[in-house]
Chain A
Amino acid sequence: MAKRIDVSGLNAYYGSFLAIEDISMTVEPRSVTAFIGPSGCGKSTFLRTLNRMHEVTPGGRVEGKVMLDDENLYGAGIDPVSVRREVGMVFQRPNPFPTMSVYDNVAAGLKLNGKYKKSQLDDIVEKSLKGANLWNEVKDRLNKPGSGLSGGQQQRLCIARAIAVEPNVLLMDEPCSALDPISTLAIEDLIGELKERFTIVIVTHNMQQAARVSDRTAFFNLAAVGQPGKLIEIDDTERIFSNPSVQATEDYISGRFG
């Protein structure tokens, strides 16, 4: 199920603007890796190169290698659509499909991709909603519109939608930034459970969150505005938060920089 990601020498561009430069790192399977760093350093950009969503942006272009186990995502003949089925994504702002019910939102990935039997779908929807800790709250309103849920519920709905297609890797871009502390905790607990089955990468601006949920932490930084973002270091989360090997990391974590 869960797969290892191995990135080497990755550059990503927006048109002619080099947004991130020469990133190399390994993300272990069945672990949570957190990305931290100042705004604009390219965390989202890097995350989106991991499931080939970067090239959806007009002008988006990637150089380098991203190995998923032993397959290069940017190799010749690789279909981005299949990549995205293996590497799921949860966005910063909850974005359920407004025309679909709760049920259809969770089933969307399967329904839109092919034919499934109704009974099979029922099982998958229930399993995914339970997996996202949302089942109890919505089991009586599966046919109500998904956009009628609260923000936190919507975000968990989006997580359910992402895990329903059984990806190998789950990317999360600041999944809690629009949520209250209770929903945030619910999602953090969820991440803890999900890492049994998936490889998880999470972008966060919340240091405590990174410390709480992640096994490894990567710190990104950029020299100046207009310069490309770079990976400064990646290490065990404990190490990063207690005794990082780079001074810039310590400055950033302890709130001293500039």
Chain B
Amino acid sequence: MSHASLSDKRPGSSLRGATLPKWFPWATAAGSIVLGIGISAVAGLDSDIQWGLIAAILFVLGSYAIAAKVEGRRQAKDRVATSLVWVAFILAVVPLASLIWETVRRGVKVLDGYFLTHSMGIVGDKEPGGGIYHAIIGTLEQVGLAALISVPIGVLTAIYLVEYGRGKLAKAVTFFVDVMTGIPSIVAGLFILSLWIITFGMGYSGFAGSMALTILMLPVVVRSTEEMLKLVPNELREASLALGVPKWRTILKVVLPTSIGGITTGVMLAIARIAGETAPVLLLVWVTPLINTNPFSDPQASLPVYIYLQYANSGGAGAAYDRAWAAALVLIAFIMILNMAARGIARWKAPKTGR
């Protein structure tokens, strides 16, 4: 076999078949959308979802039929798989994009400096004005406390499981972490309620909420840290041990620095997950329209509960309704910032190749 015969473009070569042009998928997509709209108009369907679905089905079937005719069955199947992936992608992105769009559109109405720096202390339920300052303070403190408790415990647990854990105790810990992962947030809330508030007779406080959030956050931190530690190659541990470095120092100076980016990402995502928890916070922190900066006594506000109450009071319109959306926008922005910070840290701390 010489190279010449491979690059030979004679027709009928078994290596090349008929191919559809590059713009074929786009044309099919455009055609399906036009047809979809047309069919809905004729049939008198007026929902966006209906014509969207019709267009999606036409797109998949159309690509298959045309490709099967021109390119053959194998290529047609390939195109069907590709178009299914695209349809699934759009199905996933549309709700997400529309969620953000709706929140931004409705939220920006009252979102301004005043809204971010004032509480609801002197504002009636349905009156305009007021803000979320007290709720931001509450959420930051509750989530911050929960993170302060669960990050050290979670990371140490993961280190134990990956670096030391053998035998029964490790198995038991893994089992409990698994069980904790599955605890519904309301159950975590009820557990702390019965223990802390009913049995011990403590009052509502931000800290009580933090404890429930800790229960939710801890297994996530353990799990993600475990995964990151397992990714650290054993060779690095051995290299360090072979230099006569004790095991605990090896973990501290070699294993953790290598995985710190991933661990931070996991922690940030866990924080993002608990920041939106409503049920346990409502049970344990209760709510107040006033600014309470002390998380250890008396009810505090928080963003999720604020959103819920504003919406519940609004009857679907008016000042309270707008405040609910603005607070939702702030919560989403907070979580997005955390996510981006996590990505930034992961990239910044990732082991460098330097090439």
Whether B351 contacts A98 by the Cβ 8 Å rule is yes
Q: Is B235 close to A, CB under 8 A? A: yes
B269 CB → nearest A CB, Å: 22
Whether B244 contacts A81 by the Cβ 8 Å rule is yes
Q: Is A112 close to B, CB under 8 A? A: yes
Whether A145 contacts B352 by the Cβ 8 Å rule is yes
Known A91-B235, A95-B233, A95-B236: A147·B242 in contact at CB below 8 Å: no
Which of B242, B245, B246, B353 neighbours the largest number of chain A CB atoms within 10 Å of its CB?
B242
Q: Is A49 close to B, CB under 8 A? A: no
Interface string of B227-261 (1 = CB under 8 A from A): 00000010111111111111001100110011000
User: Which residues of chain B come closer than 8 Å to A147, judged between CB atoms?
Assistant: 351-354
Which of A51, A56, A95 neighbours the largest number of chain B CB atoms within 10 Å of its CB?
A95
User: Which residues of chain A come closer than 8 Å to B74, judged between CB atoms?
Assistant: none
Whether A84 contacts B243 by the Cβ 8 Å rule is yes
Q: Is B3 close to A, CB under 8 A? A: no
User: Which residues of chain A come closer than 8 Å to B168, judged between CB atoms?
Assistant: none
Q: In which size bucket is the chain A interface? A: 20 to 34
Whether A148 contacts B257 by the Cβ 8 Å rule is no
Question: Which of B242, B249, B253, B352 touches A98 (beta carbons < 8 Å)?
Answer: B352
Question: In A37-60, which residues have CB < 8 Å from any B CB?
Answer: 51, 53, 56, 58
Interface string of B201-232 (1 = CB under 8 A from A): 00000000000000000000000000000000
Whether B352 contacts A56 by the Cβ 8 Å rule is no
Whether A53 contacts B249 by the Cβ 8 Å rule is no
A164 CB → nearest B CB, Å: 9
Question: Which of B242, B245, B354 touches A113 (beta carbons < 8 Å)?
Answer: B245
Whether B240 contacts A56 by the Cβ 8 Å rule is no
Known A98-B351, A145-B354, A147-B351: A112·B258 in contact at CB below 8 Å: no
Known A112-B240, A165-B244: A148·B253 in contact at CB below 8 Å: no
**Distance, CA A108 to CA B242, complexed state (A):** 11
Q: Is B10 close to A, CB under 8 A? A: no
Look across to chain B and name the residue whose beta carbon is closest to the beta carbon of A144: B354
User: Which residues of chain A come closer than 8 Å to B9, judged between CB atoms?
Assistant: none
Q: Is A152 close to B, CB under 8 A? A: no
Q: Is B22 close to A, CB under 8 A? A: no
User: Which residues of chain B come closer than 8 Å to A148, judged between CB atoms?
Assistant: 352-355
User: Which residues of chain B come closer than 8 Å to A95, judged between CB atoms?
Assistant: 233, 235-236, 238-239
Known A53-B238, A95-B233, A97-B254: A165·B243 in contact at CB below 8 Å: yes
Q: Is A89 close to B, CB under 8 A? A: yes
A132 CB → nearest B CB, Å: 15
Look across to chain A and name the residue whose beta carbon is closest to the beta carbon of B249: A112
Interface string of A142-178 (1 = CB under 8 A from B): 0011011000000000100110010000000000000
Whether A53 contacts B242 by the Cβ 8 Å rule is yes
User: Which residues of chain A come closer than 8 Å to B246, judged between CB atoms?
Assistant: 81
Question: Which of B235, B250, B353, B355 touches A93 (beta carbons < 8 Å)?
Answer: B235
25 A-B residue pairs with CB within 8 Å: A53-B238, A53-B241, A56-B238, A81-B245, A82-B244, A83-B244, A84-B241, A84-B242, A84-B243, A88-B243, A91-B238, A91-B242, A95-B236, A97-B254, A98-B258, A99-B351, A99-B352, A109-B244, A112-B254, A113-B245, A144-B354, A145-B354, A147-B353, A148-B355, A165-B244
